[in-house]
Amino acid sequence: MQNIVDFIKQTFKTNDFIPLHEPRFIGNEKKYLNDCIDSTFVSSVGKYVDTFEEEFAKTVGSKYAIATVNGTAAIHISLLLAGVKRDDEVITQPLTFIATCNAISYIGAKPIFVDVDLDTMGLSPDFLQSFLETNCEIVNSTCRNKTSGKTIKACVPMHTFGHPCRIVEIKNICDKWNITLVEDAAESLGSYYKNKHTGTFGKLGAFSFNGNKIITSGGGGVIVTDDEALARKAKHITTTAKIPHPYEYVHDEIGYNYRLPNINAALLVAQLEQLDKFLEDKRDLTKQYEDFFYNLDITFIKEPENSKSNYWLQAVMLQDKKQRDEFLDFTNKNGVMTRPIWRLMNELEMFKDCQSAELKNAKYLEERVVNIPSSARV
């Protein structure tokens, strides 16, 4: 495996430690931050929040964008706006970052785990259809789980590492079963399925700008939707549900202090200006990795059919868990950060009693997939 370590260090032109994914601040970040500080509007009100929301909506092709403190908050509010209530159920995939299931749990709802496709690593429409046909029925225009007797209100697929899942097929199934589609697009800014940006297929979509994302403000998230009423509601309840007034504090429902601060938005405006450059460099890195791994007994994971991926995190698939563990151990000991894919959600203590379909593909991927250094090199 020394040849892999040598290649990665050569590709990133350093013999120092190579992180998995680090941010690049190469544009107007300091200029906009200083401007924000000078304005004294560093909290949730300011021109950079407004500018970012407008520019982000244009970037992904949605009508509205509402900036939040992080991606988890964006999913949480999206689920509330989708009508998910305590004791409802939400279908999602077991192979995802913990934030997806945490957001479901904040409401008091419960996740149901349906398997993924091997090529997309995202929720499988075939397994989704099979699960619904076997376990569910439509009662009074709602999807009822015959096993639990509860309402399945929403479905949250996730575009794993920026690779789009078969979201059109998933949407068609959700529409048929009266299930609201909420996309976890946290990792997929710059990714497209059938020439349409991820996050814009469902009623709502959620993105993340955590420190390791393709653009970042250290944290941050955003909700996108084409529904004007939902957009207004999202902005209202993420701003503590305060009724606008010059000086009085009146709140008309339970709200959340989830709005993105202007100082973070200043960073994001500058980062968004560099998105195309980051995406271009990531595709160049992809080509180098693809060529290198072609003749090895390690499979480089490429974008699925009908998709254009942002390749947020580059990934490889080892032959089995033993080879995966050896790969992780050797690379990390030799200054190249790699990490395994997430532990399956249904295997975690807090979700082990949740209903699950057969999860053969998810388990196969869990034992084999490893992320390798993926930073933009601009």
The CATH number of whichever domain residue 233 belongs to comes to 3.40.640.10
Q: Are residues 193 and 178 in the same domain?
A: yes
Identify the domain containing residue 310 by its residue range: 2-24+275-343+367-372
Asked which of 245, 274, 303 is the last residue of a domain, the reply is 274
Q: Are residues 80 and 213 in the same domain?
A: yes
The pLDDT of 115-130, averaged and rounded, is 98
Residue 83 Rama label (left phi>0; alpha psi -120 to 50; beta) = left
Residue 349 counted as domain residue: no
Residue 177, amino acid: W
pLDDT of residue 290: 97
The predicted model scores a pTM of: 0.97
Give pLDDT tens digits for 170-182: 999 999 999 999 9
Q: Are residues 168 and 212 in the same domain?
A: yes
Q: Are residues 196 and 301 in the same domain?
A: no
Residue 1: count of CB within 10 angstroms of its CB:
15
Cross-strand pairs, 342: none
Distances (CA, A) of 101 to 157, 184, 203, 224: 11, 11, 19, 19
Q: Are 62 and 205 in contact (CB under 8 A)?
A: yes
Q: Are residues 261 and 301 in the same domain?
A: no
Give pLDDT tens digits for 50-97: 999 999 999 999 999 999 999 999 999 999 999 999 999 999 999 999
DSSP alpha helix (H) spans, the chain: 2-11, 29-39, 47-60, 71-81, 98-106, 125-135, 167-176, 228-237, 262-273, 275-293, 321-333, 360-366
